[in-house]
Structure 1
């Protein structure tokens, strides 16, 4: 495990980083600190995913460590940012989790969200072969309140 200090943020990296990885993580930290959007690129195989995960999680943990003790009793979830990592496919997300598990940050809470194609259990949706049709059928059932799965969830959610 290598610790890299970038602008006061200690990043634990599972390997000795290459210069291009350090540069990538510097850009991630700079963007996060300034609240900027960032479009970062690096050639295939340079460890972009690992760099992005390590730098982002280190940044959030750094922010959490700065929360005053008297603030801890408050709604702590609203005091620091969340990391949303999206990808085009479920297998790409699985690869991200595999990368995360290589790091000291493996204990980070994660939630994987998926498409209707994977999650929707309504019989009328699942019988469709085309994903676009599945999405349309699901959306229409929900909109017309004809999906008993969604209606049941919606009413139980609202009762809290």
Structure 2
């Protein structure tokens, strides 16, 4: 009278095993999908890191070029001002013009620097968002793995 053991029939056990196998297959598919997504995020983060480094190097290169151009411009203007022996009003006007040009160029450089910094901030923000997404997916993956192992 004790058959089936624990009150479960063979058919019930078979159904339960089939359902568990289906769930296991489903979790395996989710796990594979998460791995693919995680790998893609790793590649994307690496690409963004490379892009960020490239942009930073380009900005530094542009800043150095602008510094050199401004220095050369200043030297040329100083030489021209010294070469021309004219009265003090003309010298003052030339120095004033040189100052105005340098000031305008400096403003342009500052604006460009602001744009480059803004781009860098945007890239940094995007990088942080990708890292957060990666961590979230990694956490989900680990939770699924833990659930699967239990």
Mark yes or no: TM-score above 0.5.
no
TM-score by length of 2: 0.25
Greater fraction of residues in helix: 2
> Which structure exhibits the higher relative contact order, with contacts defined as CA atoms closer than 8 Å and separated by 6 or more residues?
2
More strand by share: 1
